[in-house]
Structure 1
C-alpha cells in the first residue's frame, strides 16, 4: 500500500516530464529550442521534436508570408509637391536564428517596428528622387521595385526577406490640395493659350499665303487677258485699216454714223449746232446717199 502511494506520483511525474520533452512542429511554423535564452537548435521540418524539460524551452515563429501595413507617410518629390503615401509589404522569416538574435524576445512586434522604419526610409529615398507625376502615374511598378530592392539588404539583417512592396494610395495633403489644383489649372490654361496662339499664327501664315496666291493668280489672269485683248484689238484695227483702205468714202460714212450713235443718245440728245455744220453732212436729204458730194450753201 505504501509502495503504491509512492509509485503513482512518481509515474505521474515521469509521464509529465516525458510529455514536456516532446513537442510538435507545425508545417506552417519554425521553432527554436532555447536553453537559458541561448539558441540550441532550430526545427524547420514539421513533425515531432524533443527538448530537455525545464531546462530548455521552445519558441515558435510563423513560416508563412506575412503582411505589414505602412501607415500614411508624407514624401516630397523633386518638384516639391508634397504627397501622402500609403504602402504595404509582404515578407517572411527566412532565418529564425538570426531573427531571434536581432529582435530578441520582442518577436514579430519588434521586427515589424524595425521593418516599418526601413520601409519608410526607403520610400522617402526613392520617391524623393522622382517627380510627383511619376508617382501619381499608373505605371509606377519600377518605383515599387526600387523600394523593395532597397529594403531587402537591411531586412536581411533581421532574418527577414521582403517579397513585395506596393503603394496603395498617393494623394495630396488636404492643405495643399486646392493650391495644387489651382496651379494645375493655371498650367493647363497657359498650355491652352499657347496652343491657341500657335494655331492663330499658323492660320495667319496660311491666310497670308492664300491672299498672296490670289493676288498672283488674279494678276497673272489680268496680264493674260490684257495680252489677249491687245492682240484682239490689233487684229480688229488691222481688219478695219484694211477695209478702210479699200473704200475711204465708206470709212468716212462709218465714222459719221459712229459719231451720231455716241452723240444722239437718250440722255445726251440736245445739241447746239449750225444747220450747215459738217456734223450733219450725211443727214441732209440731198446728200444722204453714200458718196454724194456736199451741197454748198
Structure 2
C-alpha cells in the first residue's frame, strides 16, 4: 500500500513538473513570444494561461506598456542662423510587433532605445537646421514636435516600435550666448527707459510752460480787471468829489486847507519856509 502511494505521489509530482514546464501565464502588461529551437514560433498578445512544448520551446516576455525615452543631457543643435541652442526632449514609445522587435534588436531594450535616440536626434537636428531661434523657441515648436513624431514613428515601425509622442521640454541658448543676449536685452531696456524718461521730461516741461503761460494770462487778466475796477472807482470818487465841490466850493477849499495844515504841522521838527502873505495862510489870517 505504501509502495502504491509512493508511486502515485511520484506520478503526481512528475505530472506537476511537466505541467509547470508546459503551462505559462501571460500578464496583461506583456507580450509573449514562443521560440522553438531559437526560431520564433508564435506571438501571444492576449493575457491568460497558455501552453508550450516542454524542453523544445521556450518563452520570452516583452513589456507592452508605454515607455519613456528621456535624454540625460540637453543636446546642442544649430539653427538656420548658425546659432547654438540646447534642446531637452523626451519620447513616448511602445512595442507593437514583438516578433519584428526581436528580429531587429534582438529584444534588447537598450539597443532599441539607442536606435530611437539616434532617430529622434537626427530628425531634430534637421528640423532645427531649417528654422530660426524664434521659430524653435515659440513660433513653430508645436509643428516641429508633430513633424518629428511622424518621421520618428515611420522609422521606429521598422523595428516593431510605435512612437506615440515627441516632446520638447526645454529649448534655450547656451550659457555663453545667454549672457550676451541678456546684456543686449538689458542695454535695450535701458535705452527704452532713457527714451521714456526723456519723453517724460519733455512732456513735463511742456506742461510747466503751459501752466506758466496760463498763470501769466490769469494774472494779466486779473490786473486788467483790477485796474478797470480801480479806474471806475476813481472815476466815481472824482465825480463825488466834483459834485461835493460844486455844491460848496468855499467849504471844500477850507476843508482842504485844514487837511494841509494837519499834515504839515504833524511833527515839531518840521521846518516850513513860505511867505507870510502866501495863500497857504489864507484861513489863518482871515478865518471868515
TM-score w.r.t. length of structure 2: 0.69
Partner of 2:241: 240
Tell me whether 1:85 sits opposite 2:82 in the alignment: no
1:34–1:40: 8 Å Cα contact kept in structure 2?
Answer: yes
3-state DSSP class of the match of 2:282?
helix
Deviation of 1:270 after TM superposition, in Å, equals 4.6
CA contact (8 A) 2:146 2:166 kept: no
Q: How big is the shift at 1:165?
A: 2.4
SS at match of 2:114: helix
The residue number in structure 1 matching 2:162 is 160
Q: Give the direction of change, closer, same or farther, for the CA distance of 1:170–1:153 in structure 2 (3 Å limit).
A: closer
Secondary structure (helix, strand or coil) at the match of 2:234 reads helix
Q: Does the aligned pair in 2 maintain the 1:151–1:162 contact within 8 Å? A: no
For this pair of structures, how many residues does the alignment match?
Answer: 263
Contact 1:33 1:56 in 2 (8 A): yes
Deviations 1:44-71 (A, max 9, x none): 1123445678887655422122121223
Change (3 A) 1:59 1:224: same
Distance 2:245 2:61 in 1: 135
Cα deviation 1:200-222 (Å, max 9, x = unaligned): 22322322232222222222222
**C-alpha displacement at 1:239, in angstroms?**
0.8
Q: How does 1:1-297 map to 2 (within 5 A)?
A: 24-33=25-34, 41-50=42-51, 59-70=60-71, 71-75=73-77, 82-96=84-98, 99=101, 103-105=104-106, 107-120=108-121, 123=124, 125=127, 128-129=131-132, 131=134, 135=137, 143=141, 145-157=142-154, 158=156, 159-163=161-165, 165=167, 167=169, 172-257=173-258, 269-282=270-283, 284=284, 286-287=285-286, 289=287, 292=288
Q: Distance in 1 between matches of 2:180 and 2:213?
A: 49
Structure 1: how far apart are the matches of 2:244 and 2:81? 94
Higher mean alpha-carbon deviation, 44-53 vs 212-221, is at 44-53
Distance 1:48 1:147, change over 3 A: farther
How far, CA to CA, are the matches of 1:177 and 1:62 in structure 2?
42
Unaligned runs of 5+ in 2: 1-13
CA distance 1:222–1:78, shift in 2 (3 Å): farther
Cα separation, 1, equivalents of 2:174 and 2:213: 57
Q: What is the TM-score with the length of structure 1 in the denominator?
A: 0.67
Query: In 2, are the aligned partners of 1:24 and 1:47 still within 8 Å (CA)?
Result: yes
SS in 2 for 1:161: strand
Distance 1:178 1:238, change over 3 A: same
Counterpart contact for 1:126–1:146, Cα < 8 Å: no
Deviation at 1:243, TM superposition (A): 0.6
Q: CA RMSD in A?
A: 4.1
Structure 1 residues 130 and 83, CA gap change in structure 2 (3 angstroms): closer
Unaligned runs of 5+ in 1: 1-11, 293-297
Which SS does the other structure have where 1:131 is aligned?
Answer: helix
